[in-house]
Amino acid sequence: MARKTDSNNPLDWLFIAASDLEGVCVLLEHEISHAMCVSKLAEILEKVIKAELIRSGWFLVKTHDLVKLVDELHGRQPELAERFQPLCEFLAERYFTDRYPGFDLDDPDWPELRCQVEEIESLLAAVKKRVDGESNSP
């Protein structure tokens, strides 16, 4: 059965982010396609941030700019934004340099990628807890 999603529902953003993260974890387990994993992590992080922003009343803006999104998060949830900031800065830069020719490519750093995946898993869980807590409130 098809799943109907709503771009204004934070849980739908988190559902897609979690699904994408499962795929990255499979590639990571076999150390396959480092650049694609990094690129996908940027997309996952974007979805998690958008889920939190929408949860806090933000009207969806169609952007993939992680720096802009984390800046928006700073204005609403500064303590959470501080956790997102380092990943956003790193992944925003790597998103383009790893996907298009004309840049020097770094050697794959699988241990660093594992740490980033763990941090994104933690951030996803934190945002999901906030969304779930709100949806369970009377």
Cα–Cα distance measured from residue 114 to residue 21, given in angstroms and rounded to the nearest whole number: 12
Cα–Cα distance measured from residue 101 to residue 106, given in angstroms and rounded to the nearest whole number: 13
pLDDT tens for each residue of 104-133:
777 899 999 999 999 999 999 999 999 988
pTM of the model: 0.91
pLDDT tens for each residue of 6-65:
999 999 999 999 999 999 999 999 999 999 999 999 999 999 999 999 999 999 988 999
Q: pLDDT category, 137, cuts 50, 70, 90?
A: low
Give the total residue count for the chain: 138
User: What domains sit in the chain, N to C, each tagged with a CATH number?
Assistant: 10-101+109-131 (1.20.120.330)
Which amino acid, residue 90? F
Give the model's pLDDT for residue 104: 72
Cα–Cα distance measured from residue 122 to residue 6, given in angstroms and rounded to the nearest whole number: 24
Q: Answer for the pair 28, 110: CB distance below 8 angstroms, yes or no.
A: yes
